[in-house]
Structures are given as structure tokens and as C-alpha cells.
Amino acid sequence: MNDMRFTERDVSANDMKIRARDVNVHYGTSHALKGVDVDILNGNVTAFIGPSGCGKSTFLRCLNRMNDTIAAAKVTGRIELDGEDIYDPKVDPVQLRAKVGMVFQKPNPFPKSIFDNVAYGPKIHGLTRSRAELDEVVEASLRKAALWNEVKDRLTAPGTGLSGGQQQRLCIARAIATSPEVLLMDEPCSALDPIATAQVEELIDELRSQFAVVIVTHSMQQAARVSQKTAFFHLGNLVEFGETNQIFTNPRDPRTESYISGKIG
Ligand SMILES: Nc1ncnc2c1ncn2[C@@H]1O[C@H](COP(=O)(O)OP(=O)(O)OP(=O)(O)O)[C@@H](O)[C@H]1O
């Protein structure tokens, strides 16, 4: 299949989840992200790669307005979720973040029980009407996060007592308990050992059948393993965006080539 046909298929209205156009971010006078255009598609894992400080996390945080929480950050441009402008003043960022969930680099369970960590989002968003329904959501979320079998007999134990890899899967369960449409993951495996990393990577592949997944990673091997689309950032610019296989085997921009061959970064 040639690239043009891929492009036509990929941008069909059903596949498009997030459409970002001319996104710029300034932190005070520093121009951290420069005119970025990206399409995030349903059923895909999209990896953001690039050297430290190139703007990957800054752009990721634009997608659920987490930059709103950073006083110095000013975001311009347009980002649509299902065709709706997420920066429209009518949009409630808390509701938006239930639809566009996020998992951070360091597992950060709340100082609550395993059950309450997962139940928190459905409770504050009023998504369940009874205790039985809440129990179902918690179990389903822990199952989707591949953690249920390890914790089902100790749901009242503190989430912080789990291993690092289990804590990260708990955070994934917490993020998916509100039935998000997009899951943003900022270096989700960087604090994990190789076994826990493999478990989370396997999970990411399963999750993409339910949500669009976006992952920031420093590991090119991980990007190649888990993603279908890759965006390469450099000095605040989106240099190249395309099929992961093409980016890693036949990059079009010399800067991408230098990065994947280890010459920059
Ligand atoms: N809260 C902030 N205040 C001021 N500047 C920031 C802030 N967060 C990021 N920056 C700056 O914006 C630029 C992009 O940072 P960002 O964290 O998005 O890069 P990154 O590609 O995710 O880096 P890394 O791979 O090291 O996490 C950097 O120059 C960084 O110093």
C-alpha cells in the first residue's frame, strides 16, 4: 500500500480522535513548542520521541489541558477532540481529563486503598449509581489493567504497598475507570524493571482496541514495539510524523535519521 492511500485511510472521520493544529507553547519568554500539527487516531498507539527538552511532555500535556496547571505556560493553536475545541471556555478541564486520561512517569497512587484508588474517578464524576455498579467498574478496570488477579484478595490494602510495576498498573486502572477515550502516558515505564515494563507494554497494545493511546518514551525500542505512529520532536519542532515502521526504517528528515542512529540526543 502506498503512503498516499495510508494517509487517506488514516484521516477518515471515524478514525480521527484528536486533531492538533499550529500548537505553540511558551513558558514565559521561552518558546517550547513551535507550530505543531498532529492527528491522533483511534485504535492506534502514537509514540512521541526526541531528545530531552524537545517538547514531548509539553505537547502531551496540551492534549488534556494539563498545562493549565502551570502558571507560566501559554498555549495557542487549536486542539479538537472529536471535532470540538478543547480550549473552548465552555469546556470543563476536569471533565476533559476524565475523557483524556493520563498516566505519569512515576507511579503515583493516592494514599488510599487499592479499591479507592480506582473508585475515585467514577465517584467524583458520578458515573455509578450504586455500590454494586462501583464494584463492577473497579473490577473491570483492574482486569483491563491486568492487575485483578494479583490484588482481588486485598482490595482494602493501601495502593502504595504494591510493587512499582503493580502501582503503575493501578494508576492505569485508575485512569481507565472513568472510561476515557484517549489515554496519555508520559514515560510510563521509566521507573519499572524489564518484567514490569514488558507487562505494561503488553497492556498498552491491548488498550488501543478501546482508546487512542499516546505515549512519550525515551526508548526507541519501546516506541518501535508498541506504536503504530511515531512523532519525532526536536527543539520544539515536530520534525517528522508517520507510520512507526517508516520512521525507524526510512526516515525522511536527516534530523530523524541522526536521532534514531544515536547521533543526536
Ligand atoms: N513548567 C515549566 N516551566 C518552564 N519551562 C518548562 C516547564 N516545563 C518544561 N519546560 C521547558 O520546555 C522545554 C520542553 O520541555 P519538555 O519537558 O516538554 O521536554 P521533553 O521532550 O518532554 O523532555 P524530557 O524528555 O527530558 O522529559 C524545555 O526547554 C523545558 O525546560
Q: Which stretches within the chain are classed as H helix?
A: 3-10, 56-62, 93-99, 114-124, 131-144, 148-151, 164-176, 194-207, 220-226, 244-249, 254-260
- For the cut 70, the answer to whether the pLDDT of residue 3 exceeds it is no
Question: Ligand 1: does its nearest atom lie under 6 Å from the Cβ of 113?
Answer: no
Protein residue closest via CA to atom 2 of ligand 1: 27
pLDDT band at 9 (very low <50, low <70, confident <90, very high): very low
**CA–centroid distance, residue 159 to ligand 1 (Å):** 29
Q: Once rounded to an integer, what is the mean pLDDT over residues 108-118?
A: 97
What's the pLDDT tens digit per position in 23-77? 999 999 999 999 999 999 999 999 999 999 999 999 999 999 999 999 999 999 9
Could you tell me the distance, in angstroms and rounded to a whole number, from the CA of residue 53 to the centre of ligand 1? Answer: 5
Average pLDDT, the chain: 92
Q: At a CB cut-off of 8 Å and minimum separation 6, what does 171 contact?
A: 103, 104, 107, 108, 109, 117
| CA 62/CA 82 separation, integer angstroms | 16
pLDDT score of 262: 87
Q: Is 161 in the pocket of ligand 1 (CB under 6 A)?
A: no
ipTM of the prediction: 0.97
Which residue has its alpha carbon closest to ligand 1 atom 30?
A: 53
217-257: per-residue pLDDT in tens?
A: 999 999 999 999 999 999 999 999 999 999 999 999 999 99
**3-class secondary structure, 120:** helix
Residue 214 CA to residue 248 CA, distance in Å, equals 18
Q: What angle do CA 54, 50, 227 make, to 5 degrees?
A: 135
Options 3.40.1450.10, 1.10.599.10, 3.40.50.300, 1.20.1560.10; CATH for 3-260 is: 3.40.50.300
Is the CB of 70 within 6 Å of ligand 1? Answer: yes
Q: Is 36 in the pocket of ligand 1 (CB under 6 A)?
A: no
Looking from the CA of 156 toward its CB, the CA atoms found within 13 Å total: 0
Share of the chain above pLDDT 70, in %: 94
Q: Is the pLDDT of residue 10 over 90?
A: no
